[in-house]
């Protein structure tokens, strides 16, 4: 197939904007429409005996795994270990019978992740692979192939593969919860309905593109940027910081909002923008109080929340980004979009090579 940028300036931008379609495409193969309702399909793979999940991945795929840990534990009550692949096999990990190892990889070829897969397989783990390239080595070596249908991703900084990985992992968490008898029929329908709302919500998030472009110059001059979030927004803070440093070369750090007082708060002054990812919900108040600690020290905050959250806490912020109101399950899928757009527009404002950032490779096949 011919791969071009279409009307977009960069592949990364094109791939960000493809997300409503590719997430819908991905979800379609994990959810089923039955008598007018969307439900989980009959599983071909029996998950009921899974006693423990180990997730291994690198880079952005690793952050998708971190979000999934919250979901697997919350919905299926199955304990989850997660490691970056380069650490996994060198720390003598304990793998017991009944363990499911999930590798997450856009390319399906990342050397460290592949080595972790082989190590776990040799230790008797069942291997599930969430990969975007169905012909890849990981896809071939896994027991259970869970493809993301993101299409080819050209931009070195991963975007659409990430939201598709999250979509597959959310569906897998729901399936595991069901297999464990942890979901009533009503809860299943509700979970699945929320998931199915993701593509439209991503569209809503993309509508904020121009506003994010307009605020990018406020960040482009910074030397350091901090990202804060709680719960599943904590891995998103890490992903936001990764995206920004990858393509704009600005030093950025993601932190659990509640951990900020144990270190990074020492860095706060009016030269360090702080991006706060805080959809309204059970953790909102807590994150806002961390945000106020930043503001009390002269810190400049960009708050990413929904209308209610911005109404409640937007005053006094350097800028705000308004997201559609979504169920907490899909919030990380939707909030990934402004985080990507912010990194993208800051990089464009700085004039860096967005699709081919220096020193980075799309697929890392050496250890």
Active site residues: 362
Measured from the CB of residue 201, what is the shortest distance to ligand G6P in angstroms? 23
Measured from the CB of residue 97, what is the shortest distance to ligand G6P in angstroms? 27
Q: Are 246 and 343 in contact (CB under 8 A)?
A: yes
Q: Which is nearer to ligand G6P, 110 or 163 (CB)?
A: 110
Question: By CB under 6 A, which span of 99-107, 226-234, 254-262, 290-298 interacts with ligand G6P?
Answer: 99-107
Measured from the CB of residue 104, what is the shortest distance to ligand G6P in angstroms? 7
**Residue 199 interacting with ligand G6P (CB under 6 A):** no
Q: What b/e sequence results for 215-253 when a residue is b if at least 16 CB atoms lie within 10 Å of its CB, and e otherwise? A: bbeebbebeebbbbbbbbbbbbbbbbbbbbbbbbebebb
Q: Which is nearer to ligand G6P, 242 or 272 (CB)?
A: 242
**Residue 26 interacting with ligand G6P (CB under 6 A):** no
Q: Which is nearer to ligand G6P, 136 or 322 (CB)?
A: 136
Q: Which is nearer to ligand G6P, 3 or 360 (CB)?
A: 360
**Residue 61 interacting with ligand G6P (CB under 6 A):** yes
Binding mask 140-159 for ligand G6P (x = CB under 6 A): ----------------xxx-
Question: By CB under 6 A, which span of 103-111, 190-198, 254-262, 275-283 interacts with ligand G6P?
Answer: 103-111
Measured from the CB of residue 183, what is the shortest distance to ligand G6P in angstroms? 29
Q: Which is nearer to ligand G6P, 192 or 236 (CB)?
A: 236
Q: Which is nearer to ligand G6P, 105 or 295 (CB)?
A: 105
Q: Are 257 and 267 in contact (CB under 8 A)?
A: no
**If binding means CB under 6 A, how many residues of this protein chain bind ligand G6P?**
16
**Residue 59 interacting with ligand G6P (CB under 6 A):** yes
**Residue 248 interacting with ligand G6P (CB under 6 A):** no
**Residue 110 interacting with ligand G6P (CB under 6 A):** yes
Question: By CB under 6 A, which span of 45-53, 59-67, 89-97, 287-295 interacts with ligand G6P?
Answer: 59-67
Q: Which is nearer to ligand G6P, 40 or 166 (CB)?
A: 166
Options 19, 54, 113, 287; binder of ligand G6P; rule CB under 6 A: 113
Three state DSSP letters for the chain: CCCCCCCCCCHHHHHHHCHHHHHHHHHHCCCEEECCEEECCCCCCCCCCCCEEEEEECHHHHHHHHHHHHHHHHHHCCCEEEEEHHHHHHHCCCCCCCEEEEEEECCCCCHHHHHHHHHHHHCCCEEEEEECCCCCHHHHHCCEEEECCCCCCCCCCCCHHHHHHHHHHHHHHHHHHHHCCCCCHHHHHHHHHHHHCHHHHHHHHHCCHHHHHHHHHHHHCCCEEEEEECCCHHHHHHHHHHHHHHHHCCEEEEEEHHHHHHCHHHHCCCCCEEEEECCCCCCHHHHHHHHHHHHHCCCEEEEEEEHHHHHHHCCCCCEEEEECCCCCCCHHHHHHHHHHHHHHHHHHHHCCCCCCCCCCCCCCCCC
**Residue 94 interacting with ligand G6P (CB under 6 A):** no
Catalog residues that contact ligand G6P under the rule CB under 6 A.
58-61, 105-107, 110, 113, 156-158, 360, 362-364
């Amino acid at each position: 197939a011919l791969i071009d940028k279409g009307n977009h300036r960069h592949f990364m931008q094109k791939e960000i904007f493809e997300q409503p379609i590719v997430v819908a495409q991905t979800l379609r193969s994990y959810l089923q429409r039955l008598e007018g309702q969307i439900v989980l399909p009959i599983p071909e793979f029996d998950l009921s005996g899974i006693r423990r999940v180990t997730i291994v991945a690198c880079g952005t795929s690793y952050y998708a795994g971190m979000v999934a840990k919250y979901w697997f534990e919350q919905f299926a009550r199955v304990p989850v270990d997660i490691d970056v692949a380069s650490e996994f096999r060198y720390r003598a990990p304990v793998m017991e019978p009944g363990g499911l190892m999930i590798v997450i990889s856009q390319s399906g070829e990342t050397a460290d992740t592949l080595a972790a897969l082989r190590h776990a397989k040799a230790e008797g783990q069942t291997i599930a692979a969430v990969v975007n390239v169905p012909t890849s080595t990981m896809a071939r070596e896994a027991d259970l192939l869970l493809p993301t249908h993101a299409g080819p991703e050209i931009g070195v900084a991963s975007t659409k593969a990430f939201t598709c990985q999250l979509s597959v992992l959310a569906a897998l968490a729901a399936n595991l919860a069901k297999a464990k008898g942890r979901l009533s029929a009503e809860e299943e329908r509700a979970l699945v309905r929320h998931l199915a709302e993701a593509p439209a919500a991503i569209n809503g998030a993309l509508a904020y593109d121009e506003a994010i472009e307009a605020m990018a110059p406020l960040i482009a001059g910074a030397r350091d940027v901090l990202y804060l979030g709680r719960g599943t927004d904590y891995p998103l803070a890490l992903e936001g910081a990764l995206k920004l440093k990858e393509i704009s070369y600005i030093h950025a750090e993601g932190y659990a909002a509640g951990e900020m007082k144990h270190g990074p708060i020492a860095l706060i002054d009016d030269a360090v923008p702080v991006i706060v990812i805080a959809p309204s919900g059970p953790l909102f108040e807590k994150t806002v109080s961390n945000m106020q600690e930043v503001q009390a020290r002269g810190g400049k905050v960009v708050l990413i929340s929904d209308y209610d959250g911005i109404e409640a806490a937007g005053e006094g912020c350097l800028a705000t980004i308004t997201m559609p109101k979504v169920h907490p399950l899909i919030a990380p899928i939707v909030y990934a979009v402004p985080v990507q757009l912010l990194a993208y527009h800051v990089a464009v404002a700085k004039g860096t090579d967005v699709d081919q950032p220096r020193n980075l490779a799309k697929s890392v096949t050496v250890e």
